[in-house]
Amino acid sequence: MPIRCRPFTAPLTAALLAAIAIAVAVGAVPAAGALDSRPLALRGGRIMTVTRGILEDGIILIRDGRIAAVGPAVTIPNDAEVIDIPGFVVFPGFFDATTNIGTTDPEASERDDDEATSPLTPHLDILDSLNPGNRYIPEARRFGVVYALSAPGRGNLLAGSSALIRLRGDDARSMALKTPAAVHGNLGEGPKLRYGAKNVYPSTRMGQAALLRQTLIETQEYIAAREAYERKAAAWTEKESRGEKQEGDKPEPPSPNARLDALVPALKKEIPLVLTANRMDDILTALRIADEFNLRIILNEGAEAPKLKDKLAARGIPVLLRPRAAYKLTPETEGAGFEGAAQLVRAGIRIAFQTGTIQNLGDLIPQAQQAIAHGLREDDALRALTLWPAEIFGVADRIGSIVKGKAADLVVFDRNPLRSPARVKLVVIGGEIVDRED
């Protein structure tokens, strides 16, 4: 069933014709809203609001990049572009909760997400390797993915910071919804195999825990030194403003340390520390260290997380489920099971799905389908693709459901992809049409 648009009958200006000519010349289609600021209305589809049930034959009105109204009887302005989508299904843009999209191109033998030279690289910023022109970005949108946590690789003990990005744009910083989104660390086989092979510390699990603790202690000391300096500097400035005689030398700030600076927000619980851990003992190590340093952590992959679901639930720790393609792939993931998603959710744990890498591009929906087939409720699978990752990374006030005031980042399928094979017919990001299949 084709998408039907109300024809736009206003005369084309010379400037508009020139803009279209330029867009055609470079092989791009100008997005709705890019050449004017008209409202956009999607009419007649089945709307999966996520938080307010399913709206049959509904209307979504979009204005200035946001959802202006959603309901069964929304008044559509006369100047709006209207897209009729009867029989189609509208979702919030899907969220890939860990991937290296934008930083890697296997065919070009480029991989810029994993600095394999030191176990401690928390100061690396994934945006510095993000290529907005990476060809996998529009490919991911074909599977309904609009948001991605672009994250550093899993070979270093502390790997760097991630960014929550929209899969559209020509500048890495402008694509970021949140940066840094988290600091990332890895326990278990990743750093153990990499640095054990080089006979470099840490080459064992106890070495990983010891080095992580030591680094966090150094960060605490760094924070304390900075705070002490700020107190002394404030006192000095206050006395100076009163003309009082100062005793001793003017306070000097601590020497800057990029590695520790990157960890300060995690120690202050301003952003989470995402820790990859699969074996039960690695997960327990992550919990101990989180308790010792009062960290807000997110468990990544967690093959054996269901064995510790009560501990995770008691601490409110969410889980970014490991990619479907990686189940039972290595010795530490032998305990993975497709029923894990349902077990975690029943325990009260928020989960999110991930592809992990562009090698698994297109696997996000099959992962959700697999979880549904093994006991996860369909509405919870939808939350794990949309609202829950938005909540986990603190952006649910802006994205993750179809309600008035949130970003107009929407995907229209020809049928429900959680139930049967489906095609993406329309992608709207920031209120503008970026992909359309007629």
pLDDT, tens digit, 9 for 90 and up, residues 328-350 = 778 888 888 889 999 999 999 99
Number of compact structural domains in the chain: 2
Check whether residue 58 and residue 149 sit in a common domain.
no
Residue 433 in domain: yes
DSSP structure string for 380-412: HHHHHHTHHHHHHTT-TTTSSS--TTSB--EEE
Check whether residue 158 and residue 267 sit in a common domain.
yes
Residues with Cβ within 8 Å of 280's Cβ and at least 6 positions away in sequence, in order, are: 304, 307, 308, 335
Residue 240 in domain: no
Check whether residue 30 and residue 76 sit in a common domain.
yes
Check whether residue 282 and residue 144 sit in a common domain.
yes
- Give residue 5's pLDDT band: very low, low, confident or very high (50, 70, 90): low
Check whether residue 170 and residue 136 sit in a common domain.
yes
pLDDT at 367: 95
CA distance 195 to 209: 14
pTM, two decimals, is 0.90
Check whether residue 277 and residue 379 sit in a common domain.
yes
CB 247 within 8 A of CB 233: no
Higher pLDDT, 99 or 13: 99
Percent of the chain with pLDDT over 70: 92
**Cα 136 versus chain centre, distance:** 16
Check whether residue 123 and residue 260 sit in a common domain.
yes
CB 122 within 8 A of CB 161: yes
- Give residue 246's pLDDT band: very low, low, confident or very high (50, 70, 90): confident
The arithmetic mean of pLDDT across residues 202-209, rounded, is 97
Check whether residue 35 and residue 54 sit in a common domain.
yes
Check whether residue 266 and residue 379 sit in a common domain.
yes
> How many other C-beta atoms lie within 10 A of the C-beta of residue 83?
24
Look at strands 4-5 and 273-277 and give their pairing: unpaired
Instruction: Please give the residue range of the domain that contains residue 359.
Output: 94-217+254-399
